[in-house]
Amino acid sequence: MLGLPLDSWLLIAASTLLGPLLVLLFLRTQRRHEAARSAGESD
């Protein structure tokens, strides 16, 4: 595929995508935590 073996593409994809995806998951969790905290404070 595009001249590279599939396992090379898997390594390149993991190198470039795993880190940003982990951070996006972290940001979503933090937003939910902040929302829950704000809701708790307003109650």
Partner 1 sequence: MASSAVLLVLGVYLLILLGIGIWGGRGSGDMEGYFVAGKKLPAWVIAFSSNSTGESAWLLLGLTGMGYLVGVHAFWVVLGEVMGVALAWVFVARPFKEATDRYGSITVPDYLASRFRDYRGSFRHLLRVLSVVIILAMTGAYTAAQLTAAGKAFHSFLGFDYRTGVFLGAAIILFYTTVGGFRAVAYSDLLQGTLMFLCLLTLPIVGLVAAGGWTATVDALRAQDPALLEPMGGLGLGVAGWVSVFGFAGIGLAFLGSPQLLTRFIAARDGGEINRASLLAVICIVVFDVGAVTAGMTGRAIFPGLEDHETIYPMMGTELFPAVFTGLFLVVVLAAMMSTVDSLLILASSAVVRDFLQQVVRPGWSERILSRWGKATTVVLGVVALLLALEEVRMIFWFVLFAWSGLACAFAPVVLCSLFWKRTTRAGAIAGMAVGITVTVSWVLFFKASFHELYEMIPGFLAGLLATVVVSLFTESPEGAAEELDEIRASVGPAI
**Calpha distance 29→33 (Å, rounded):** 6
Residue pair 1/9 in contact (Cβ under 8 Å)? The answer is yes
User: Least Å distance between CB 33 and partner 1?
Assistant: 3
Q: Kindly state whether residue 35 participates in binding partner 1, applying the rule CB under 8 A.
A: no
Output the CA–CA distances (angstroms, integers) from residue 17 to 7, 36, 38, in the order listed: 15, 29, 32
Q: Kindly state whether residue 24 participates in binding partner 1, applying the rule CB under 8 A.
A: yes
- Nearer to partner 1 (CB atom), residue 20 or residue 43: 20
In the set 5, 39, 40, 43, which binds partner 1 (CB under 8 A)?
5
